[in-house]
């Protein structure tokens, strides 16, 4: 693939994942990179990236950002475990519709959409070696997976017949710059508030940020080779599920934080989630509940995936060296949490 001939628009390019994708595109000498997000990104601007500030919920701004592009990477999303349905829907669903419309209007035939494995399973039991043939669950217990599933279906079912799209489902992103997962866990553990849910034996897939970004690069290369429109879904991970509570204890030890000793059963955590969700819906000024049903399931059960399709069809492989990835993450956490 001759990257020098490509113009790539990355939606959410200032985010944890988007930033890494943009930097990998810079390293590949991509002809032109446009980064669409709400904030200024001086560090990327210094690398020659065009920064376009806007809101993905604004169709005109999204359309303008796509003009002249040969491909689009869409990583923008409202993540997290709590918030209003309106906010999740407007960003995750309507924002994705705006991207699809802009691709059609501008004749862009290649789209990489960042989804989530949480669209494919309910966190109410163990999920082991799940692949892309699994059907969508009948219902969801959180707004994030519910809206990401709608958005994913819109990408796969778009009426724009010339569009080729790859939907990637990277699981639990981690690494330096993580704004969500590890900093929150480390702070709770340091305060003695982290509680193990379940028996602690659950196996969980993780995806180091450089590996996730590399998957997006391979997806762009895959789309470039498509001679006929195709739409495919791929799970992405480090391909090495960990016993998550042991993994966290090892990470905490490297930060000189005591291991997690408190525990609670899944049933009790789920009940607490129901109670807190009810209270916090009635009194939204309280902020985010300390536990939800979704979080209880994510922390109690196994959830790991079969990534052989991504390996065989995209040519994806984890590129980060695990020991180096962990060392870099620990150093970043020491300086930023």
pLDDT tens digits, one per residue of 139-176 = 999 999 999 999 999 999 999 999 999 999 999 999 99
Instruction: Give the pLDDT band of residue 333 (cuts 50, 70, 90).
Output: very high
Please give the pLDDT value at position 337.
Answer: 82
pLDDT tens string 189-229:
999 999 999 999 999 999 999 999 999 999 999 999 998 99
277 pLDDT above the threshold of 90 = yes
pLDDT tens string 226-239:
989 999 999 999 99
> In the structure encoding, which two tokens stand for residue 283, read together?
């009194």
**Any idea which residue has 């003695």 for tokens?**
192
Q: What number of other Cβ atoms are within 10 A of residue 199's Cβ?
A: 11
Please give the pLDDT value at position 304.
Answer: 97
List the Cα angle 225/231/234 in 5-degree steps: 90
Please give the pLDDT value at position 227.
Answer: 87
Q: Give the contacts of 77 (CB within 8 A, at least 6 positions apart).
A: 12, 91, 92, 95, 114, 148
pLDDT tens string 53-72:
999 999 999 999 999 999 99
For the segment(s) 3-174+206-237+303-319, the CATH number from 3.40.50.80, 3.40.50.720, 3.90.1280.20, 2.20.70.10 is 3.40.50.720
Length of the chain: 337
Q: Are 34 and 54 in contact (CB under 8 A)?
A: no
- The domain limits of the chain are 3-174+206-237+303-319
**144 labelled catalytic:** yes
Please state the pTM of the whole predicted model.
Answer: 0.96
Mean pLDDT taken over the chain: 95
pLDDT tens string 173-187:
999 999 888 998 999
Q: What number is the average pLDDT over the span 101-116?
A: 97
Catalytic residue among 113, 144, 208, 316: 144
In DSSP notation, 51-117 reads EEE--TT-HHHHHHHHTT-SEEEE-----SS---HHHHIIIIIIHHHHHHHHHHHTT--EEEEE--G
Q: What number is the average pLDDT over the span 35-55?
A: 94
Please give the pLDDT value at position 181.
Answer: 87
Rounded distance, CA 93 to CA 282, Å? 25
Rounded distance, CA 332 to CA 177, Å? 7
**Any idea which residue has 């390019």 for tokens?**
13
Rounded distance, CA 249 to CA 313, Å? 35
Rounded distance, CA 249 to CA 302, Å? 17
Please give the pLDDT value at position 238.
Answer: 97
Please give the pLDDT value at position 325.
Answer: 96
Q: What number is the average pLDDT over the span 110-138?
A: 96
Q: What number is the average pLDDT over the span 4-28?
A: 96
> How would you class 66 by CB atoms within 10 Å of its CB: exposed for 0-12, middle for 13-18, buried for 19 or more?
buried
Rounded distance, CA 21 to CA 157, Å? 25
pLDDT tens string 280-328:
999 998 999 999 999 999 999 999 999 999 999 999 999 999 999 999 9
**Helices 59-66 and 95-105, packing angle to 10 deg:** 40
**Helices 143-156 and 95-105, packing angle to 10 deg:** 20
> Residue 8 in 3-state DSSP?
strand
Measured in degrees and rounded to the nearest 5, phi and psi for residue 329 equal -70, -45
Residue 278, H or E segment: helix 266-282
Please give the pLDDT value at position 141.
Answer: 95
């Amino acid at each position: 693939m001759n990257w020098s001939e490509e113009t790539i628009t990355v939606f959410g390019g200032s985010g944890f994942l988007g930033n890494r994708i943009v930097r990998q595109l810079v390293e590949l000498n991509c002809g032109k990179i446009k980064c669409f997000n709400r904030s200024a990104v001086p560090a990327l601007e210094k690398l020659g990236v065009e920064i376009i500030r806007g809101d993905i919920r604004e169709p005109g701004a999204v359309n303008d950002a796509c003009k002249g592009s040969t491909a689009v990477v869409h990583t923008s999303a409202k993540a997290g475990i709590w918030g209003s349905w309106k906010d999740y829907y407007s960003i995750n669903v309507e924002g994705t519709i705006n991207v699809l419309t802009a691709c059609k209007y501008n004749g862009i035939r290649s789209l990489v959409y960042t989804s989530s494995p949480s669209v494919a399973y309910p966190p109410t039991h163990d999920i082991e070696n799940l692949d892309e043939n699994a059907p969508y669950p009948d219902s969801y217990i959180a707004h994030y997976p519910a809206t990401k599933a709608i958005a994913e279906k819109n990408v796969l079912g778009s009426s724009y017949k010339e569009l080729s799209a790859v939907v990637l489902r990277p699981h639990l992103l981690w690494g330096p710059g993580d704004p969500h997962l590890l900093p929150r866990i480390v702070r709770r553990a340091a305060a003695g508030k982290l509680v193990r849910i379940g028996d602690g034996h659950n196996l969980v897939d993780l995806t180091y940020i450089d590996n996730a970004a590399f998957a997006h690069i391979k997806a762009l290369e895959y789309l470039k080779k498509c001679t006929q429109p195709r739409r495919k879904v791929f799970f992405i991970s480090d391909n090495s599920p960990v016993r998550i509570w042991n993994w966290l204890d090892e990470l905490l030890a490297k930060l000189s934080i005591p291991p997690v000793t408190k525990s609670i059963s899944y049933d009790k955590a789920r009940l607490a989630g129901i109670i807190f969700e009810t209270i916090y819906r009635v009194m939204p000024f309280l902020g985010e509940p300390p536990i939800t049903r979704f979080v209880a399931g994510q922390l109690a059960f196994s959830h790991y995936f079969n990534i052989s399709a991504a390996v065989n069809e995209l040519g994806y492989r984890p590129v980060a060296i695990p020991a180096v990835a962990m060392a870099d993450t620990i150093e970043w956490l020491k300086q930023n949490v």
